[in-house]
A and B are shown apart, each in its own frame.
Chain A
Amino acid sequence: MAVLVLLVPVSLGLGLLGLAAFLWTLRTRQYDDPEGDAARILSDRWDDRPAPPDPVRDTPPAPDEEKRR
């Protein structure tokens, strides 16, 4: 039963990892448009290069946005 000393923290740690991942998805607003995200994956628009950062999604808007344009 000594193995419990190892296994219980490991299982809790894995659970916490999942919780942290969930909180991250929440923080980065990945639940704002589930339907749109499901559809976007089908588009080949950004297959060759990454999409520019989206100021609407990545709040707050960067102040140097003017220059990048």
Chain B
Amino acid sequence: MTPIPTAEGAGSPACPACSPVAPLARRTAARRPADAAPGEDIFLSVPDAHCAACIATLEEGLSRLPAVRTARVNLSLRRVRIRHDGSLTPEALIPVIARLGYRAHPLDAETLSQTGTDPVGRDLLMRLGVAFFAMMNVMLLSVAVWSGASDATRDLFHLISGAIAIPTVAFSGQPFFRSALAGLRRGRIGMDVPISLALVLASGISLYESLNGGRHAYFDAAVMLTFFLLGGRYLDHRTRAAARSAAQELAALEVPRALRLTPAGQETVPVRDLVPGDRIRILPGARIPADGIVEDGESEIDRSLRTGESLPARATPGSVLGAGETNLTGPLTLRVTAAGRDSSLSRIAALVALAEEARGRHASLADRAARAYSPLVHLLAFGAFLVWLQKSGGDLRLAANIAAATLIITCPCALGLAVPAVVTAASGHLFRRGLLVKSATALERLAEVDTVVLDKTGTLTLGTPEPLDLSCHAAEDLQVALALAQGSAHPLAQALARAISRLGHRPAPVTGLTERPGHGIEGRWQGLPVRLGRADWVGAGPAAGTATCLRIGDRPPVTFAFADALRPGAAGLVTALQARGLSLHLVSGDAAPAVADLAARLGIGDWIAGASPEDKAAFVRALGQRGRRVLMLGDGLNDTAALAAAHVSISPASGLDAARAASDVVLTGQDLSPVEDALRIAGQAVRRMRQNFALSALYNILAVPFALAGLATPLLAAVAMSVSSLTVTLNALRLR
């Protein structure tokens, strides 16, 4: 069973684009196991799967596990669903998928199943199908009428059309009628009121005309209107559903459980049930669920997601820890001081909610168009009705006919398609480039950006340290360091072990490895005690920047220095953004030397170090108040408020869940360069939307005089409607 050769990767088990395990996999893998009821399906998100070979690799690889019954990849949603015998957990499958060459993130089946089937989308699709059937048949009958059928034949055809069209409009038009009614009840006239009015009026008048042997019946126009508008509505729903499911996937990623210590032992409880005074146990590798004080145990703490510090901090009894930090080496017992609504995590969430409320007021292009359009159309139609009533000396039938024709011809077919078609095309392009657009108006906001604020740790850098220049160390030191480093889960040790093995060294025979949480790891080599760990513990002088020290017996200690690796595409992105004339700011919570170094390396002139989450948000807000449209790029909890305060925001998938939830666009890959594509495509998309509005306005301007003059025929209405809808859709598809 060989994967079929594709253009992307012939013969390789995974596509080359599918990058190996990223820090995110490490972070997610480190989470506590989620409870999976026996046999309950497991959902994993696999953002890198993208071709036929990926499906085969994943499904076959997973099916080889004895516990797996079936595994099915959904390529559209980049998701794999695994049916199993109840013995598997999402966390156990992530390494399996990592060996196949893919990153995977666990998803909460419960949250997903609510939207998984998407009943609303299927309902819309069914109504669309019915409208399509009716449109085709009514159109066939209408062709006969347009080409000159007369008298009894015409009346018969009108009546058959009516028998198809009226039930169709009544069934397929329901979404419009319902939303128009809901709008009217709240005293708002949206786009759906003129639509509903046109549908009802057209059907009613046409029925009356057919029964009385009239010449014009607008059944074809009514059905076509329903079809085109439903098409727009369906596209719109699909983008919104994608955005909503993205948000839900993100919510599903958070595994909100804690290990509470009780006199009887340990119990797993939801984080929201924690109260101040509870004692909780935090295993190495776990996220800290609540603010608290360490009671017992020693470890090191990764604060990078919360504060942006790239250096792990020491945790000993009495240290104060905050929710969102990650425990690295040793188990800790924490006395909770603030949980739930009072924790530092929730305070940031409150900041986010506040900022999002402000952003919700952004009026989209479509809203503005509808606001200008609805009253105008009603006035036109009503005016035509009054004028013709007076001119014809009270001919109600003629006046109503002309008013209906005006409503049909001005009806916003093209307007209803103008934005959804463009947004769908643009989101599809961006999705293929690894960007998930979560918010419906994100593209419009992205197009207006003139200032970019960047976070450092985890955004411009990968957030994983890489050892600097190992070649200056003795081979013996490296081999001992490798043996020690392989025994520790500490990120520095792991990075060191990876880098030394890459140089081709084998570990020295070190025995009696013991990890001293919060300090380092020690053992014996050729009868000498060897230690790898913090400088003070090993007996070396304090090091500048991130470093770990090795000491063999009484020999002088050896220091391995680390630097945070740049994210691929970061340098290119900075250059590209500067070339676009955007002003760049680097705002980080990290210490000044590290920030200055990175700013100099990338050529960013304006940087701020040591910024707190509030500082970041205030900085972004201040820029906004000066009229700047800010794009914020960030990944950490400390960026969350700033992400929400910015005009538009992007965060990498490796970021904290809260950060991804607060941003409009999520970057699924490691590479940063798609951000530039996003700006370019957003600019294009907004141009297309404006063109589409202009196009549909042009059609209206051309056709309305005919309608007002009473010269509109059903043929003219049908032609104007389909041509304008087609041009608008084709224009949207021109997006590259």
Contacts and interface: CB of A to CB of B under 8 A. Distances in A.
B140 A26 contact: no
Nearest to B82: A56
Nearest to A16: B133
Given A11-B140, A15-B136, A65-B69, A26 B77 contact: no
Given A42-B4, A43-B52, A56-B81, A11 B76 contact: no
A45 B1 contact: yes
Interface stretch (B122-130, B189-197, B217-225): B122-130
A64 interface: no
B122 to A, nearest CB: 6
B56 A43 contact: yes
Contacts of A1: 153
A49 to B, nearest CB: 12
Nearest to B71: A56
Given A39-B51, A45-B1, A31 B125 contact: yes
Contacts of A31: 122, 125
A45 B1 CA distance: 6
A39 B130 CA distance: 29
Interface of B: 1, 3-4, 6, 41, 51-52, 55-56, 60, 69-70, 72-77, 81, 83, 122, 125-126, 129-130, 132-133, 136-137, 140-141, 153, 156, 160, 164
Given A39-B52, A39-B55, A54 B77 contact: no
A36 B51 CA distance: 8
B55 A36 contact: yes
Contact of A36 (B75, B83, B141): B75
A5 to B, nearest CB: 10
A64 B65 CA distance: 21
A60 B445 CA distance: 43
Given A26-B126, A56-B81, A40 B52 contact: yes
B56 A23 contact: no
Contact of A26 (B56, B83, B125, B133): B125
Contact of A69 (B69, B74, B76): B69
A36 B77 CA distance: 9
- Say what secondary structure dominates the interface of chain B: helix
B76 A54 contact: no
Interface string A2-14: 0010001001100
A34 interface: yes
B671 to A, nearest CB: 21
B78 to A, nearest CB: 9
Contact of A55 (B1, B69, B75): B69
Contact of B73 (A36, A42, A45): A36
B191 to A, nearest CB: 26
B133 A19 contact: yes
A52 B63 CA distance: 13
Contacts of B51: 39
Given A39-B52, A42-B4, A55-B70, A26 B76 contact: no
A42 B125 CA distance: 27
A66 B125 CA distance: 35
- From B122, B133, B136, B153, name the one whose CB has the most chain A CB atoms within 10 angstroms: B133
A51 to B, nearest CB: 10
B658 to A, nearest CB: 30
A32 B130 CA distance: 19
Given A1-B153, A32-B76, 11 more contacts: A8-B160, A16-B133, A22-B133, A26-B125, A32-B74, A35-B75, A36-B75, A39-B51, A39-B75, A45-B56, A56-B70
A11 B51 CA distance: 41
A16 B132 CA distance: 11
B56 A36 contact: no
Contacts of B83: 55-56, 61
Nearest to A42: B52
A56 B41 CA distance: 9
- Top 4 closest pairs, chain A to chain B, by CB: A36-B75, A39-B52, A19-B133, A35-B76
A45 B59 CA distance: 11
B1 to A, nearest CB: 6
A23 B70 contact: no
Contacts of B153: 1, 4
B41 A23 contact: no
Contact of A33 (B6, B75, B125): B75
Nearest to B138: A15
Contact of A23 (B3, B75, B126, B141): B126
A11 B74 CA distance: 38
A54 B63 CA distance: 13
A40 B69 contact: no
24 contacts: A8-B141, A8-B160, A12-B137, A15-B133, A15-B137, A19-B130, A23-B126, A26-B129, A33-B74, A33-B76, A36-B55, A36-B74, A39-B52, A39-B75, A42-B4, A42-B6, A43-B3, A43-B4, A43-B55, A52-B70, A54-B70, A56-B81, A61-B83, A69-B69
B174 to A, nearest CB: 17
Contacts of B160: 8
B18 to A, nearest CB: 14
A33 B77 contact: yes
Nearest to B5: A42
Contact of A34 (B3, B6, B55, B76): B76
A11 B138 CA distance: 11
Contacts of A52: 70
Contacts of B1: 45
Contacts of A23: 126, 129
Nearest to A59: B117
Nearest to B126: A26
A32 B41 CA distance: 17
Nearest to A65: B69
A40 B75 CA distance: 10
A56 to B, nearest CB: 5
Contact of B129 (A19, A32, A33, A35): A19
